Structure 1
Amino acid sequence: MSDEIRMASEDSERSSAQNASQASAQNALRRRGLRKGLYLIPSLFTAANIGAGFYSLMASLRAFQLLGDDGPEAIARAGVLFDNAALAIGLAFVFDSLDGRIARFTKTTTEIGVQFDSIADVVTFGIAPAVLAFAWGYGSALADGSEAYNLGWFLSFMYVICGAFRLARFNVQATRPRVLAEGTAKVDKEHFVGLPIPMGAAAIAAIVHFAPTPLVAHVEQKEVYSGLVMFLVAAVSILMVSTLRYKSFKSVGINRRSTHVAILTVALIGMFIWLYSQYVLLALVAIYILHGLTARLFSFIFAPLRRGAPAAK
């Protein structure tokens, strides 16, 4: 009788162990599936980035096509499409800001995700704004085949090349940081080297959003405005491949106190953008671009003074 009881007890223990093992395996599968799902989230934002860039391209091409028709209605419709193209680049800017943060927050950063993001940036912040500047600006306002027209074509191409180089340099610096003389790696997480390509695209998009009517509609001043837009594209291209330091906001929100400040700041900026988007976006882009130039100018002025100052005792 006691043997039967002992055998039944052993069977019960084995059954409980098997059930526990099965439950543990099921939980592990659930966690693994959840982990795989987390890896998809940053890629979805990157895909949305590409989608917004593709829409911007198609809207710019359609608007440029409409400018071939005479009449104020065609110009008005083209202006709406150009504005939508600029807003799509702005929306892509938001997606691009979120995908990396989400990947770092969920610890799902992968090499393929980094490369996917770079390719998306070439499309959205390289090709799309170059086409937008050409179609909205000098491409439609200047005579086809003229020297100024060909120069504008070249500047749009130069913008794409400089943006692609900027991304390639960023990837190399991120994976292979510069080694100092003492053998330690120097990683500056507070600054970018050169104007980030999303901000270069934002500069073009902000200008178009501020004045979406194509330059061809400004009959008397279209050559002057075209020259100014070409200067902007050239300047942004040079800034992207320059060695100017631009502030990085990747570390914002690391601790609890800075997170609260960041949320409040973003909420206030978002409110002003919602109410006065044309003015606020243009001002924000101008401030960001100029702060890198101003910092370099101050370094040129005050660096010799620091080197000549006597050492503190």
Structure 2
Amino acid sequence: MSMHTAPGVRLLPNAITVLAMCAGLSAVQFALNGQLKGAIAAVAVAAVLDGLDGRIARLLDATSKMGAELDSLSDAMSFGVAPALTLYAWQLQDNRAGWIVALIFAVCMVLRLARFNTLLDDTDQPPYAKEFFVGVPAPAAGLLVLLPLVLTAHFDYPGWWANQNVVMVWMVLIAALMVSRVPTLSLKTVKVPPRAAAPLLVLVALLAAAIIMFPLISLAIAMVLYLLHVPYAVYRHNWLAKHPEAWGAPPRERRAIRRRTQRRLGLRPPLRRRVAGAARRVRLARRHSHPDGPRRSWRSLELRRSRNDGAPR
């Protein structure tokens, strides 16, 4: 029996999806027991498993409509319902507005996933659209919204970031980013040049060491860096929309097109090299110069002034 028809192979990606959903929902149980680090780890494990199930399904040729629907339901539970209930059980139980904010976040997650599924069947999108997500993706949003919880677990102290109003505003902000039209980069289409493979592996090793030694603060820094990349993603999306000649070009040709565009707009600084035919720098005469020419001292002429020069004759 071939690999793409084996029932066991088809079951593997769906099993990983179910494990991701169980890991995400376990975060609520950890939060109810006051185990903040366990709640964060559960959502992080769900994000890792969510990134593996689709790739394994495509690698094993085991994609199916049931797997796609199950993946969307798992994302809604793991990164929408679970983080919202985790933050509610942690800090918002005694606030009526806290439950409303938790509902808003969960609903925005469902709406974001529904729009993502409809965009998969849209054939009118430009070729560069596959390089971006529309809004913040579900796993990233599920981790970003837990940033106040991550900081509290790392410092072991509920600072200003753990204030109820700050937590609610943060949840609404991440929910708005999910359903917005703000483009974010998709790592699925990132191509690494051969020269950058070795340095990238070194960075991966350093990142793994940082996660092992300082897991919580490393996760917080990664989330902040992800937010900081959004302006670059917006700039890159707008630039590609205005330059159709770069849609199908490889990265090297895209950089060349960008450099030509910058020269055309006059954005590059002028070269400091000497150009043939250019005028040299001219020194202007000093204001208080001697009328007969520059005055020279006795010492510059290497002459010794006589003692009797100043005596009357």
Bin for the TM-score computed over the shorter chain: 0.5 to 0.7
Residue 109 of structure 1: aligned partner:
63
- Structure 1 residues 246 and 118: alpha-carbon distance in aligned structure 2, compared to 1, 3 A threshold: same
Contact 2:4 2:61 in 1 (8 A): no
Matches of 2:231 and 2:162 in 1, distance apart?
25
Which of 164, 189, 211 is matched with 2:152 structurally? 211
Residue 100 of structure 1: aligned partner:
54
Matches of 2:264 and 2:54 in 1, distance apart?
43
Matches of 1:172 and 1:123 in 2, distance apart?
19
- Structure 1 residues 109 and 261: alpha-carbon distance in aligned structure 2, compared to 1, 3 A threshold: farther
Measured against aligned partners, the alpha-carbon deviations of 1:5-27 in whole angstroms (never above 9, x if no partner) come to xxxxxxxxxxxxxxxxxxxxxxx
User: Is 2:127 the partner of 1:173?
Assistant: no
Contact 2:153 2:216 in 1 (8 A): no
Opposite residue 231 of structure 1, the aligned amino acid is V
Tell me the CA shift for residue 110 of structure 1: 1.4
Flag structure 1 segments of 5+ consecutive residues without an equivalent: 1-28, 64-77
Residue 194 of structure 1: aligned partner:
135
Opposite residue 52 of structure 2, the aligned amino acid is L
Tell me the CA shift for residue 93 of structure 1: 0.7
Matches of 1:298 and 1:190 in 2, distance apart?
10
Tell me the CA shift for residue 290 of structure 1: 2.7
Opposite residue 166 of structure 1, the aligned amino acid is R
Matches of 2:199 and 2:63 in 1, distance apart?
26
Flag structure 2 segments of 5+ consecutive residues without an equivalent: 243-257, 266-313
Tell me the CA shift for residue 251 of structure 1: 2.8
- Structure 1 residues 298 and 112: alpha-carbon distance in aligned structure 2, compared to 1, 3 A threshold: closer
User: Is 2:25 the partner of 1:54?
Assistant: yes
Residue 292 of structure 1: aligned partner:
230
Matches of 1:150 and 1:130 in 2, distance apart?
14
Which of 66, 71, 81 is matched with 1:127 structurally? 81
- Structure 1, 270-279 or 228-237: larger mean CA deviation: 270-279
Matches within 5 A, 1:20-31: 29=1, 31=2
Residue 307 of structure 2: aligned partner:
none
Matches of 1:173 and 1:33 in 2, distance apart?
27
Tell me the CA shift for residue 267 of structure 1: 3.5
- Structure 1 residues 152 and 277: alpha-carbon distance in aligned structure 2, compared to 1, 3 A threshold: same
Matches of 2:5 and 2:191 in 1, distance apart?
25
Q: Secondary structure at the match of 1:108?
A: coil
- Structure 1 residues 150 and 285: alpha-carbon distance in aligned structure 2, compared to 1, 3 A threshold: same
User: Is 2:212 the partner of 1:271?
Assistant: no
Larger RCO (CA within 8 A; separation ≥ 6): 1
* Count of matched residue pairs: 247
- Structure 1 residues 107 and 165: alpha-carbon distance in aligned structure 2, compared to 1, 3 A threshold: same
Contact 1:193 1:244 in 2 (8 A): yes
User: Is 2:186 the partner of 1:248?
Assistant: yes
Matches of 1:284 and 1:93 in 2, distance apart?
14
Matches of 1:108 and 1:248 in 2, distance apart?
23
Contact 1:252 1:258 in 2 (8 A): no
Opposite residue 99 of structure 1, the aligned amino acid is D
Matches of 2:232 and 2:128 in 1, distance apart?
23
Compute the TM-score of the two structures, normalised by the length of structure 1: 0.68
- Structure 1 residues 104 and 266: alpha-carbon distance in aligned structure 2, compared to 1, 3 A threshold: farther
Opposite residue 169 of structure 2, the aligned amino acid is F
